[in-house]
Amino acid sequence: MNAVKAIIDYYRRRRAVTLLWHHGLLFGSCTVLLLGARAFIGPEVPLFWPLLIWYIVFSLHFLLVRSLTADDEWADERADKVRRHAYDFAHVKDIYIKPITFDPEEDEARRSGAQNRPDKPAD
């Protein structure tokens, strides 16, 4: 029981990403061991469901760690990356500026002008 308590205390002092890496390494190692054991010892042993369940738990763990470690700095970096790699710069600029300076009349004029575009088929 002390060994389990020591392991729990160890991971409580570590960052969540460290636990995720250890979980991933454990999942990968056990998958290789189980597949090897199935190939050499018991080919009739079903492994699909245990591995699928563990994979789902690992995926949820990954999503939880990613969502808990996201902060404003990460969001700003991600938004800048999306803006840098955008091909429709006018659309991105419109999204970036609109929440700050939204004018309903200007928006209505822009929308009415979009109805007469040459690339839009006539009704």
83-106: per-residue pLDDT in tens?
777 666 666 677 776 666 667 777
Every domain of the chain and the residues it spans: 2-69, 73-114
Q: Contact 62/20 with Cβ under 8 angstroms?
A: yes
Q: Give residue 17's pLDDT band: very low, low, confident or very high (50, 70, 90).
A: confident
Residues whose CB falls within 8 Å of the CB of residue 61, separated by 6 or more in sequence, listed in order: 20, 23
Top-confidence residue, 93 or 9: 9
Q: What is the pTM of this model?
A: 0.54
Classify residue 31 by its DSSP letter: H
